[in-house]
Every structure is written in structure tokens, then in C-alpha cells.
């Protein structure tokens, strides 16, 4: 969207808000009370603003109020329903739709991403989705080489050394690390999105598309992944009241998501099945790798930058 159009839309929006203060309803007969357009025929809705014409019989029952409420809840949230169902059940559809110019039906790419992240951290303030927990890294170190500690870094041993050097309790160092990692993971998590877009653009570079297309595509992929995690966390923590996500759960999710990526590439980039499959496999490996590296880097940087 061109900047001038965005500015015009914002200005119109502000004008409409100001209009709430100054609006005089037009009570002349034969005119729309909302926008003053004359009623030309026996229309039911105003041709200019869409307001329903006043009608004694529609407003007389309590049932009518209830039905209005129901319709309003569904209609106001229609984009929410369209977006979630489209994003989860029809991979690639939203990206395709965005570039065909179907933009009012679904939430915009960055709206999806920021809304999911907002809800995520609003509900699960200390979720370790984007940083590896200190204990998780330590346990992974004890078990030998493990994807939860790919550098095989003895974080607990280093914490004991650090505790002697800077004269602080190991427990405090661990607590500080976790706190810093939580902040870092929230602040820098946005880096994953453009990085993912760069990888997508490399995989489909023969298509000669604008980089923005890949940014939108990456926002949808990442958004779908976060929505899936949000649903899993809600079910695990809030419905089943289990305290931890099992590794097997994330394995299942990652397998499903790998298939999702294949379909996403196929639909969003009009690829053949074979082209989509091998690119989907590579993209999934890169994406999971990116998340693993990000999660551990936030924890390691947090730990290494504790100096006192």
C-alpha cells in the first residue's frame, strides 16, 4: 500500500472519530438519519452508508436484540475466523490471496504475527518457546550431544566457575540468566521473521518475485507455527493442567509443520508437488534450525553477559 493511501486512510479514520462528537442525526422524513442521503425508493438499506432503514416491526422484540448481538459477534469477528481457519487449514492461501489483492477478508500479515505474539506472552508470560531453559541446557549437556545444547556447553559447570569469580550465588546467576533470556527472546524474536523470508526467497529464486512477497509468506508461515504452539500450550497448560510439554508433542507438531510448509510453498508459489516437497523439507530444516539456534543463543548470551 502506498504511503499516501495509508495516510489518507488514517486521516479518514480520525475524521470519523471526530464525527462522533459532532454528528447531528438527520431526522427529516425520507432521509437516512445517519448520512442524510435521501431514500429514493422503498429500499431497506441506505444506498450510501448501508444503514438499515428504521422499521417499527424489527425493533420491538427482545429476541431481535439477542439476534443482533449474535450477528454482531459473528460479523465483527469474521476476519478472525477466516484468518485462523485459512491460516491453519489452507497453507499458502493467505499469501496467495494477499498478492491477488484480497486483503479485507483476512488480517494483514503483520497483524497476525504481532497479535499471536501478544496473546502468547500475555497468557504465558514466562513461556520458554524462544529461549532454552537453563536446566534444559544442563540436562542436554549431561546426556551428551543433544539438539537442546548443540554447542555441548557445560552451562552448569561454567556457572559454578562464574560464581567463584564474581562472588555470587549460583542460584542467583541462574535466575539472572533466565530473566535476561526471557527479555532478549521477546525483543529479538522478530529477527526470525525476515531471516525466514531470506531463506524462502533463496529457495524460490527462479520465480523472480518481489522480496515483499517472501516477507508476507514468512509472516504467514511463522504466524501459523505460533498459532499451533499457542493452541498446544493452551490445551496442555490451561485445559489438561500438565506442567510441561513433552518432547514427543513437539516432534509431532514439527512433523505436521513440515507437511504444512510443503503445502504452503506449493500454494503460495504455484510449485509442482515435487518442487514443493524438496523445498519444503529444506525450509523446515532451516526453520527448525533457526529456532533452535535462536533459543540457545538467547540463553547463552544472557549467561555470558553476566559480569557482576
> Which residues of the shown chain bind Zn ion in the complex (CB under 5 A)?
32, 34-35, 37, 46, 48-49, 51
Give min distance, CB of 52 to Zn ion, in A.
10
**Is the CB of 46 or the CB of 127 nearer to Zn ion?**
46
**Is the CB of 31 or the CB of 186 nearer to Zn ion?**
31
Give min distance, CB of 9 to Zn ion, in A.
21
**Is the CB of 35 or the CB of 170 nearer to Zn ion?**
35
**Is the CB of 2 or the CB of 20 nearer to Zn ion?**
20
Mapping DSSP onto H, E and C, the string for the chain reads CCHHHHHHHHHHHHHHHHHHHHCCCCCCCCECCCCCCECCCCCCECCCCCCECCCHHHHCCHHHHHHHHHHHHHHHCHHHHHHHHHHHHCCCHHHHHHHHCCCCCCCCHHHHHHHHHHHHHHHCCCCCCCCCCHHHHHHHHHCCCECCECCCCCHHHHHHHHHHHHCCCHHHHHHHHHHHHHHHHHHHHHHHHHHHHHHHHHHCHHHCCCHHHHHHHHHHHHHHHHHHHHHHHHHHHHHCCCCCCCHHHHHHHHHHHHHHHHHHHHHHCCCCHHHHHHHHHHHHHHHHHHHHHHHHHHHHHHHHCCCC
Give min distance, CB of 40 to Zn ion, in A.
12
Give min distance, CB of 8 to Zn ion, in A.
22
Give min distance, CB of 39 to Zn ion, in A.
9
**Is the CB of 39 or the CB of 82 nearer to Zn ion?**
39
Amino acid at each position: 500500500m502506498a504511503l499516501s493511501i495509508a495516510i489518507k486512510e488514517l486521516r479518514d479514520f480520525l475524521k470519523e472519530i471526530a464525527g462522533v462528537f459532532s454528528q447531528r442525526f438527520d431526522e427529516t422524513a425520507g432521509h437516512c438519519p445517519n448520512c442524510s442521503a435521501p431514500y429514493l425508493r422503498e429500499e431497506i438499506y441506505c444506498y450510501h452508508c448501508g444503514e438499515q432503514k428504521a422499521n417499527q416491526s424489527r425493533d420491538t422484540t427482545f429476541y431481535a436484540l439477542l439476534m443482533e448481538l449474535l450477528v454482531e459477534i459473528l460479523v465483527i469477528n469474521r476476519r478472525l475466523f477466516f484468518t485462523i481457519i485459512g491460516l491453519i487449514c489452507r497453507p499458502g492461501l493467505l499469501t496467495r490471496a494477499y498478492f491477488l489483492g484480497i486483503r479485507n477478508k483476512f488480517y494483514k500479515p503483520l497483524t497476525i504475527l504481532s497479535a499471536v505474539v501478544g496473546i502468547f506472552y500475555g497468557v504465558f508470560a514466562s513461556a520458554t518457546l524462544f529461549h532454552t531453559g537453563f536446566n534444559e541446557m544442563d540436562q542436554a549437556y549431561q546426556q551428551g550431544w543433544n539438539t537442546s545444547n548443540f554447542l555441548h556447553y557445560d552451562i552448569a559447570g561454567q556457572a559454578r566457575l562464574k560464581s567463584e569469580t564474581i562472588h555470587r550465588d549460583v542460584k542467583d546467576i541462574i535466575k539472572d540468566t533466565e530473566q535476561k533470556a526471557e527479555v532478549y527472546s521477546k525483543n529479538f524474536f522478530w529477527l526470525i521473521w525476515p531471516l525466514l523470508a531470506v531463506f524462502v526467497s533463496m529457495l524460490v529464486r527462479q520465480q523472480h518475485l518481489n522480496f515483499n512477497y517472501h516477507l508476507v509468506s514468512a509472516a504467514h508461515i511463522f504466524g501459523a507455527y505460533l498459532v499451533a504452539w499457542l493452541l498446544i500450550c493452551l490445551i496442555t497448560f490451561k485445559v489438561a493442567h500438565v506442567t510441561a510439554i513433552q518432547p514427543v508433542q513437539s516432534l509431532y507438531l514439527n512433523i505436521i509443520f513440515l507437511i504444512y510448509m510443503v503445502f504452503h510453498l506449493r500454494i503460495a508459489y504455484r510449485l509442482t508437488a515435487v518442487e514443493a516437497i524438496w523445498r519444503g523439507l529444506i525450509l523446515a530444516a532451516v526453520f527448525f534450525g533457526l529456532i533452535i539456534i535462536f533459543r540457545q543463543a538467547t540463553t547463552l548470551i544472557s549467561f555470558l553477559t553476566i559480569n557482576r
